[in-house]
Chain A
Amino acid sequence: MMPGHPLLADEPGRTELLLGNEAIARGAIEAGVGFACGYPGTPSTEVTDAFALLAPDLGIPFEYSVNEKVALEMAFAASLAGARAIVAMKHLGLMSAGDPLSTIPYVGTVAGLVIVSAGDPSCHTSPNEQDQRQLAEALHLPMFDPRSPQEALEVTRHAFDVSERSRLPVVVRPTTRVCHTSAPVRFGAIEARPVAGFTRDPARFLPLPANARRMRVEITERLETARREIAAGGFFDAQGGGTTAVLASGAPAAICQDLLEDAVGRDEVALLSLGVVYPLPEDWLVASLRGFDTVLVVEELSPLLEDRVRALCTLHGLSLKVLGKRTGHLPFEFEYEPHMLRAVLHDLVGIGAPAEVVAEAPSLPNRPPTLCAACPHRPAFFAARSVFGDEALYFNDIGCYSLGVAPPLRAGDALLAMGAGFTLAAGVARTSGRQTLGFLGDSTFFHSGMPALLNAVKENVNMVAVIMDNEVTAMTGFQERPGAPVEDGQVQRTVDIEAVVRALGAPHVETVDPNDLAATVAAFERAKERDGLSVVISQRICPVFEARTVRRAPAAAPRVTTYTIDHERCRYCGRSSCGQRCGQGVVEDFERAMVRARSLELDGDRASRPDVAPCATRCPLFLCIQGYAAHIAAGRYADALELILDGLPLAESVCRVCHKPCEDVCVRGGLDEPVAINDLKRFVMDWAASQDEYPHTPEPEPAHGRSAAVVGAGPAGLAAAHDLAMRGYDVHLYDANAEPGGLLLTGVPEYRLPREVLRRDTERILGLGVSFEGGRHLGADLRLGELVDGHDGVVIALGAADPLTLPIEGEGPAVVQALAYLQEPDTAAGTVLVVGGGNAAIDAARTALRRGAEHVIISCLEARDEMPAISGEIEAAEDEGVDLLCRTRATRLVAGGAELVEVHHHDPARTDPASYEARAGTDRLVAAELVVLAVGQAPQRVAADGTVELDWTDGLVVDPGTGRTSHAGVYAAGDVLGAGGSVTGAIAGGLRAAWGLDRSLRGPAAADVRMPPPVVPTRPPPGRPGVRRDRTEGRRRPVELDPGTRMGGFEEVVATLTEDEARAEAARCMICGLCGNCSACLDLFGCPAFYVDRGAVEIDAGLCVACGVCAQFCPNGAIVPVIEPAVVR
């Protein structure tokens, strides 16, 4: 494979520029190594990488073992089999291999065994900077600490001899600065070492207690052999003279050599330095130290050598001042840099120049490492966070994915060691009951995640274990791991992670491609719903590894090369997104709810979606329904409340009486069932009402001294009063009734709208400083002319209280108007016939039952599905026992009842009563003791007094957009402009009138800060984006009183969704419109290819490699592919 590789050159004396780690590999090659293995871990990795590359040419077996324990045992086994063996790992790995490590010295090696364990002072790439040198004496391990790459080669080569002669494993422990420094290294000769083979010798190889005690005694003798062999190797030297000596060990020795070169040359100081840790060449040390007054011991981390020197001084009677860490001259922590050592040496022994003042590092934006653009770990974390939010706890592990702990993914509540991502998640879940997720990589799974997972299976811990399989050990430089295909002649061996997980007994396992966001989010959704352990395997090859190993040919077909931002659709700049103002700040929970909804869609064509969601388009108030749904899904009820109340005064009442046109056009209806939009609103309003302190306080504009009168305190008038007060007006509200509420008070029965609820709504409006006077009648004790004179503006918001009648002939039962009937609780019971098909008819019928009527019949012209009443109300009436006689007309009153005739209807363009024709011969008699007429009301007549223009029917002449009358200071809204409107329509009219009046009084600049809902014809038509998901989910229905119970009185029939139901229902919203409160790509995803330039989000084409994940979740469909044409050959 690499026959010409320099590390293989058998040319003694040749010099090559080598890393310390490569020099170690060369040292082993020169020693005739017969087996190599290890587990990658910075800063040790290049040792094993060299063998991974060269083993075939060397003709020796090599393996990246699954973990360090396995690696050490493999190497030891090779030694038993008579092959010189080298095994490499980082400092942490040696702890992982601690069990076999501590017994190998007892059993003893056969062929030389060298353990490379690289240290990392200053924690450059490690979670700690432990000092493995402390293990040497404790575990009887001869150990070297090379001072340079050259010495790294030499100690490694020599270590094999030491090991064989002492029958002890020998540790080479370089630190980062030796491992990762390249220097010219001089080669020695390569020795040939045939493998001797395994020879049976139970007494030698079985550390049974009797043998072990004998072995322990032998170890003491073998250590003496090691000491002699190491001393013979000569990895220590003394130069210079004087009264002070510096004794340096390992990497800092080279720094001292540089710093003291001149002083040593002049004999001003002595430099003793060594690359041996244990057993020390004590004779040399004692001899070299004799005669000096002072010695400064320079070693990193623990004062191992320093303490040993003190002990030797005592043992050998040296009167020497020993300085170092214990005396406060050098720090215990971190690696030693020349700058620091120079200062210490100058202060202590007056050598060299004093320390310079170092310029302070400039204060610059820091640049921590991040997950690469297109890294598959990012969408895996992103999907998990989108589903589990901030409420779950996330435990991370050791690998590239550790970077997922950083913002914005923040998938790291704790991190410890290889495999601990699962155990931490399991332990915290078991003890705290919290939902936890543990993340680890494929290599880490095989390393030590498997027993951790098995443990979680055994206890069936309620957690989600996520294995992030990128098919390679990426962090340390792309080493193979057991799951990856291995070329072996024609055979490819693979370890199937999912099969392993299943074999471990995990009950729920799913494998997903994290770049398929819909599937990944759905998998996490299922994991969330389950009790007990779920395993999600996120599988996609590391694209960096793929790019290195797979050469891409010029494209034969057009392909996506990068993605870019469509600034027409991106709303990052915060501009109003749908012609509506939105004063809410961007919050991550909300964005997460949005991206979760978008991520679940299977339809890739997000760019075709409408600007405004159909529900908002159809809502008379143009409410941002997807906005409050996302807030509810995220558990942010106060934000949902703010959004609702900002666009809808009287929300607490409206959510009980709304005709819900939004739900008819809900896009979710095309998938399964419409979102229960009204129930969500009700949930928020009832939640707010149940709080000790109301969670939202509106902030009206400061008063500017202008006053406005509003005549009529129904929905339109209350809405106008609310908005005028919010606009800083002094508002005076008048009504003929003693209390505000209008038709909501007089026309809606309590079982639908409890009076307490309506009172809370009206009190919120009056609480803005609106003064209310009841019992005032326009045209009687209230004159329009006087109002106009006394205020800056007037809003006429009278209703349609004048009931219509029917031309019914004959004499019979008493006839009463529905509105009057609803307000007169004493009306007699018996059999009641209600005439009409609207809400008033249903209300009258259901009220009659509650008042004890034995039988209630509704006669209406319309067919069942044409009735204008809210369909849920009709169903409720039927449930309660009301009989519907659709397509009938009451023609005549007779004694004891009324005559009805069946009708038919031919002209769908007409809905007036005259368009229904009687069917001849279908007359019949219906018994009734009371007939209630509910056939509509006419607008109230306005006593204009000549102040405003009226048309020939005495109706107000108004501008349809704002309700402006012929008088610039008088606006009108509500049913007075035309009966039969909805409550929400009346409220919208009131809001528009307030805006119109404000515009005429203060001008557009001030007035347009609060925009009212647009008039229906000016809105975009509801778009119908085709959406697909891989699973459906029906809507949640609030509990209703059962018909038997509810008939007993006027208790509210429909309950509120529970919190869990509401959040789940809100999460069904597909968020099909655009949103202006979004920077989800930056706030949640954090791909390094994104940046902000002059207030706009951009994608760096040089970094984006077109993984396309961002385009799948962008709530506004604003991330679009850039397609490169095919290369024509």
Chain B
Amino acid sequence: MSASCDVVVAGVGGQGVLRLAHALGAAAAAAGLGVRVGQIYGLSQRGGSVEATVRIGDMRTAFIPPASADVVVGLEPLEAQRVVPKMSPRATVLVNRTPIVPTSLTLAGGDYPDLDGIVEAIAAVARRVYVLDATAAAAAAGDRRLTNTVMLGALAGLEASPIPTDALLGAVAGADSSIDVAVRKAAFARGAGLGRDHAGVVGAGTATTPAGRD
């Protein structure tokens, strides 16, 4: 893996997208890597689509151009699919499988898209797609709100970024959070386990196994 890596974090306002991006940035900086973290907040935090970018390397801006993200962390399936235009053909994509139905969809009487279809759409562009149940893992670790930490752990377990696992864990432990640090570390460890279990598996996938073009 080269030292340059563009990461897109996508999810729903309230899921901890910005915190996850900040943890990635802090870990990269702690590891001595150049980094830019970009985020737009304000209105987006109220249950809307949220996207943050983390660029590791020597770039001066946090913009990730179309079709160039190396890693995408999707905290919610539909939001992962929304950033398909950002994914490069070599992208590794992590998708938390627990959906959050958009209120606009409920009001319009529409159905949430099929998860297999979402994975297929992502796999048509990205090299690998890993689908995991981060929400369940976070709940099992002790706090559902730690879905983002599980995803960060999975990213570490998959070794999908140039940031060393120690640095990532350090960022989790050092974050300003009201949740107990032991619980946060447990969520990270669960995520790392999910990532390691998947790391060697490559192939056309279903909702529960990695998919993609390799």
Contacts and interface: CB of A to CB of B under 8 A. Distances in A.
A1088 B67 contact: no
Interface string A4-16: 0000000000011
Contact of B84 (A17, A42, A255, A362): A362
Interface string B1-20: 00000000000111000000
A94 B12 CA distance: 32
Contacts of A255: 60-61, 63
Interface in B8-42: 12-14, 22, 25-26, 29, 34-42
A381 to B, nearest CB: 14
Contacts of A400: 46
Interface stretch (B96-104, B155-163, B185-193, B201-209): B96-104
A180 B38 contact: yes
B107 A43 contact: no
A359 B67 contact: yes
Interface string A1093-1110: 000000010110000000
A173 interface: no
A1092 B102 CA distance: 11
A339 B105 contact: no
Given A17-B37, A257-B60, A366 B102 contact: yes
B82 interface: yes
A359 B66 CA distance: 8
Interface in A365-399: 365-372
Given A125-B43, A365-B105, A182 B36 contact: yes
A368 B65 contact: no
A227 to B, nearest CB: 27
Contacts, number: 157
Q: Identify which of B25, B36, B60, B125 gathers the most chain A CB atoms within 10 Å of its CB.
A: B60
Interface string B85-114: 100000000000000111111111111110
Given A184-B35, A372-B46, A1082 B107 contact: yes
Interface in A251-302: 251, 254-255, 257-258
B165 interface: no
Contact of B46 (A364, A403, A408, A551): A403
Nearest to A1088: B103
Given A125-B42, A1082-B106, A181 B62 contact: yes
B47 A369 contact: yes
Contacts of B105: 365
B62 A367 contact: no
A182 B43 contact: no
A238 interface: no
A224 to B, nearest CB: 33
A1117 interface: no
A786 B78 CA distance: 72
A200 interface: no
Nearest to B45: A369
B106 A1091 contact: yes
Nearest to A252: B61
A17 B55 CA distance: 13
A1102 B37 contact: no
B91 to A, nearest CB: 12
A127 to B, nearest CB: 11
Interface residues of B, number: 56
B42 A356 contact: no
Nearest to B14: A372
A1086 interface: yes
A362 B49 CA distance: 14
B106 A181 contact: no
A365 B107 contact: no
B144 interface: yes
Contacts of A372: 14, 46-47
Contacts of A257: 60
B104 A369 contact: no
Contacts of A1087: 103
B102 to A, nearest CB: 4
A1088 B61 CA distance: 34
B149 interface: no
B178 A359 contact: no
B148 interface: no
A318 interface: no
A367 B48 contact: yes
Given A177-B61, A337-B63, A362 B40 contact: no
Nearest to A549: B178
Given A358-B67, A369-B13, A1102-B135, A364 B78 contact: yes
A361 interface: yes
Interface string A163-188: 00000000000001100111110000
A476 B42 CA distance: 6
Nearest to A408: B107
Given A1102-B135, A1102-B144, A180 B41 contact: yes
Nearest to B49: A367
Interface in A405-426: 407-408
A17 B25 contact: yes
Contacts of B140: none
A176 B121 contact: no
B81 A364 contact: yes
A583 to B, nearest CB: 19
B103 A1086 contact: yes
B181 interface: no
Contacts of A362: 81-82, 84-85, 121
A359 B125 CA distance: 10
A1087 B107 CA distance: 10
A359 B69 CA distance: 13
Given A125-B42, A1091-B106, A358 B62 contact: no
A968 to B, nearest CB: 46
Nearest to B82: A364
Contacts of B107: 407-408, 1082-1083, 1086
B59 interface: yes
A850 to B, nearest CB: 59
B42 A182 contact: no
Q: Identify which of B38, B48, B78, B101 gathers the most chain A CB atoms within 10 Å of its CB.
A: B101
Q: Identify which of B43, B106, B111, B178 gathers the most chain A CB atoms within 10 Å of its CB.
A: B106
A369 B40 contact: no
Contacts of B81: 362, 364
A362 B87 CA distance: 12
B70 interface: no
Given A15-B29, A17-B29, A1092-B101, 6 more contacts: A177-B61, A180-B38, A180-B39, A183-B37, A365-B110, A369-B47
10 contacts: A42-B41, A184-B29, A184-B34, A255-B61, A365-B78, A365-B105, A368-B48, A369-B13, A475-B42, A1087-B103
3 tightest CB-CB pairs across the interface, nearest first? A125-B42, A369-B48, A42-B42
